Amino acid sequence: MTGDRTPRRATTSVAKFHTPEIVLGPGSFPEAAVAVAGLGVRRPLVVSDRRLEAAPWYGALLDDLRAQGLSPASYLDVTPNPRAGEVADGFAAYRTHGADGLIALGGGSVIDTAKGVAVLASNGGVILEYEGIDRAVRPLPPLVAVPTTAGSGADVSQFCIINDPERRTKVTIIGRTLVPNVTVIDPTLLTTAPPEVTAQAGMDTLTHCVEAYVSLAHGRLTDSLALESLSGVWNNLERLVDDPRDAGAGEEMALASLRAGMAFTNAILGAAHAMSHPVGGYCDAPHGTINSVLLPHVIRYNAVVCADDFVQLADAVGLATSGDPRAVADRLADAVARLAARVGMPDTLSPLGVRSGDLDLLTSHALADSCMITNPRRPEEAAILDLYRQAM
C-alpha cells in the first residue's frame, strides 16, 4: 500500500445518526412559527438577509410569529460567506432584544450566521475561537431553520462555516449542538431564488453527495441517502434553473438537499470542501461555484484509492459503468463538469479571482480544514497544490 492510500469501505457496526425534527412539503412554511412557539421561545430573533426582506416570506414569517403571540426582532445584515463580524453583530441584536431563541430564514449563509449567534449566546467569546470539532460545549438556545435554497444542507447539519477576514479563509466549526432543533422545508420558497443561486446551491448539494459517499466516515444509511440525493440533483437541477416555478423540480431538489445534508453531516466531507473553504474566504466567491470547479479534479484524485465507489455513483446517474473503474471515475468527473457548465458554472478558478501566487496559501489552509480528515485519500501538500493548479 502506497503512502497516500487509506483503507476504504470498512464501516463500524455502531454509528450515530443525528438529524433535527423535519417538517417537509409544499405549504409547510407556516409551521415554522408553530415550531418556534413549541420550543418555548417567546422573543425570537429572526436572522435573514436584505434580499429576502424584499421577498414575501420574510413579512409572512413575522406575521406568523406574532399570530403565535411571540415578540420577534430581526437581524438582516448577513452577506454571502458571512464574516465573523456579522455573527458578532447578530449576537448584539440577540442580546439587545433579550431574545431566547432564533429562527433562520435563508440559505446556508443565513443559517450559519444564526448558528454562530446561538453559539455566542450560550458559550460567549468570539465565534472564531470555536474553529474545529466540539468546541462549543454548552447547549445552544432553540433554533428553527427555514431554508430558501436547495443546497447548503445547513438546516440539518452540525457544520457552521464562517469567514475570518483577517486570515482571508473560512473556518469550519463542527459540533452536534449546532444541528437545529427543527427544519421547515417548503419547496415553494425556492421560487424566489435567482437562477444563479439555484445553480450554485445545486452544485453544492451534488458535492455533498459525492463526498459523503466516499468519506472515511460513511455508513450504510449515509450511503443510501447520498445515492438517492445524487440522482435527484442530476435529474432536476437544470429543470429548476431553467424554470424556478417548476414545482416538481423544486420538490425534488428540496428533497435532494435534505438527503445530502443528512448524509454529509453524519459522514462528513472531503478534499473538495476543504479546498473550497479557503477559496471562498480568500476571494469571497460563491461556495457552490467553487465546489463545481474543484469536484471533478478531486474525483480523479480520490479514484486512485476508491474507484469502485465512483462506479456506484456513476451508476446512480445513469452513466455507463463497464470497463476499468478508474475510467468510470473519469467518466463521472467529466459528466459533473458538463452539468456544471450547463447550469452556468465556470470551469476554472481564475474567473473567481484566484491567482497562481495564491495557491501555496490556499493549500496550507485546505490541509488544516477539518473536512480533510475524512477524505478517502490521505492528502499531501504537493498533491493538494497540484489539484489547485489543475483547477486554474
- Classify residue 305: in a domain, yes or no: yes
Could you give the dihedral angle defined by the CA atoms of residues 155, 160, 163 and 167, in that order, rounded to the nearest 10 degrees?
A: -160
Same domain for 172 and 232, yes or no, is no
Q: Are 154 and 261 in contact (CB under 8 A)?
A: yes
Is 336 found in the same domain as 240?
yes
Decide if 284 contacts 82 (C-beta within 8 A): no
**What's the burial of 239, exposed, middle or buried (CB within 10 Å: 0-12/13-18/19+)?**
middle
Tell me: do 112 and 247 sit in the same domain: no
Number of domains in the chain: 2
In a domain? residue 2: no
User: For the sheet containing 21-24, what is the strand order?
Assistant: 21-24, 182-185, 143-147, 101-106, 44-47, 73-75
- In DSSP notation, 43-110 reads SEEEE-BHHHHTSHHHHHHHHHHHHTT---EEE-B--SS-BHHHHHHHHHHHHHHT--EEEEEESHHH
In a domain, 360, yes or no: yes
* Whether 174 and 199 share a structural domain: no
Residue 285 lies in a domain: yes
Per-residue pLDDT of the chain (392 residues; tens, 9 = 90+): 334 544 455 555 566 788 899 999 999 999 999 999 999 999 999 999 999 999 999 999 999 999 999 999 999 999 999 999 999 999 999 999 999 999 999 999 999 999 999 999 999 999 999 999 999 999 999 999 999 999 899 999 999 999 999 988 899 999 999 999 999 999 999 999 999 999 999 999 999 999 999 999 999 999 999 999 999 999 999 999 999 999 999 999 999 999 999 999 999 999 999 999 999 999 999 999 999 999 999 999 999 999 999 999 999 999 999 999 999 999 999 999 999 999 999 999 999 999 999 999 999 999 999 999 999 999 999 999 999 999 99
Residue 112 and residue 52 share a domain: yes
**Sign of the CA dihedral running 74, 80, 82, 86:** negative
Percent helix, strand, coil in the chain, to 5, is: 55, 10, 30
pLDDT in tens, 101-111: 999 999 999 99
- The CA-based angle 148-152-157, given to 5 degrees, is 110
Task: Copy the grid coordinates of residue 241.
Answer: 434553473
270 and 321 belong to one structural domain: yes
pLDDT recorded at residue 6? 47
At CA 218, angle to CA 212 and CA 223, rounded to 5? 70
- pLDDT tens readout for residues 265-314: 999 999 999 999 999 999 999 999 999 999 999 999 999 999 999 999 99
Same domain, 178 and 217: no
- Same domain flag for 249 and 371: yes
For residues 269 and 371, the answer to whether their CB atoms sit within 8 Å is yes
What's the burial of 245, exposed, middle or buried (CB within 10 Å: 0-12/13-18/19+)? exposed
| Nearest CA among 277, 303, 292 for reference residue 81 | 277
Q: Is 12 in a helix, a strand, or coil?
A: coil
pLDDT at 17: 82
Q: How far apart are CA 237 and CA 235, in angstroms?
A: 6
Give the structural domain span for 76: 29-185
Shared domain for 178 and 301, answered yes or no, is no
